[in-house]
Amino acid sequence: MPEGDSILRAARGLHRALAGRTISRFDSVFPHLTHPLEDRPLVGQVIDRVEARGKHLLMWFSGGIVLRSHMRMHGSWHLYRPAERWQRPRHEMRIVLETPDIIAVAFNVPIAEFASADTIDRTEPLRDLGPDLLREDFDPATAIARIQQRGDMEIADALLDQRALAGIGNIYKSESLFASGVNPFTPVSQLTSGQLERIVAKATTFMRANAGEGIGAMHTYAGLRRTTGRFDPAARFWVYGRAGKPCRRCGTAVRRARQGPYARSTYWCPQCQPGPT
């Protein structure tokens, strides 16, 4: 599943290409997207802006409509010139937004819906979305308080709860916990405020470094996400995707396990991240 930094970069690219342009054609395989537009068509409306909120991508139109999409595991948005060959097969197309100069195509996007601009902030799941680490106004104290409300959850699962903290996925979950020296299976209730502050700070640093421009952070992203700061493609991560390989700090074999109700992959070093007592 794309993480918050990927969605932010996608939103920036779509915004640069589409903002201020007029829709000349709209098509979708989703009836729930095409039927509501019979009385309020998108054609003729201007794309005002495109933004990211956690893992959600929002496209705002001049007629007071917002298109919310979520990539899940395999979704993506592509940009093409008219008559340019698509890089994905047509049967994977879910949405087409066409302007005279640029065409935006959503492939394999499983979640997409329209909402009124006046009510979008009150709709699920945006209504309950936690603080977004990539926003300028991100408040670490609020994020930590929300995590602490999940005292019975293991910290790795709490970090994935988008109602606590928006944007983190499997990669930043595992990497932030390793960098903080915290075992992913530790209940939130057993962690101090200082430990939670360090975890949130590490996650913020990693995500902002890979999101690139516009948030006042160092820019390490150059086509491949990394948390080690190394540009060697084989040395991008501390533990993620490295099960059975030696820890970059102590040499102990990195472990991997399925965790939580959705059996998400978690990677950790048992030596650098000792288990909860």
Which residues 6+ apart lie within 8 Å of 198 measured at CB? Answer: 180, 182
248 counts as catalytic: no
Q: Which of 53, 55, 94, 208 is catalytic?
A: 55
Residue 126 identity (one-letter amino acid): L
Q: Which of 12, 92, 264, 270 is catalytic?
A: 264
Alpha-carbon distance of 275 to 277, in angstroms, equals 7
Which residues 6+ apart lie within 8 Å of 52 measured at CB? Answer: 4, 7, 8, 10, 11, 58, 134
Q: How many helices (H) and strands (E) does the chain have?
A: 6, 10
3 counts as catalytic: yes
Q: Which of 3, 98, 154, 175 is catalytic?
A: 3
> Which of the 8 DSSP states describes residue 9?
H
Would you state the structure tokens that stand for residue 184, as one six-digit string? 């992913």
55 counts as catalytic: yes
Q: Please, are residues 44 and 99 in contact by the beta-carbon 8 Å criterion?
A: no
2 counts as catalytic: yes
> Pairing relation of β-strands 111-116 and 65-70?
antiparallel
Q: Which residues are catalytic?
A: 2-3, 55, 264
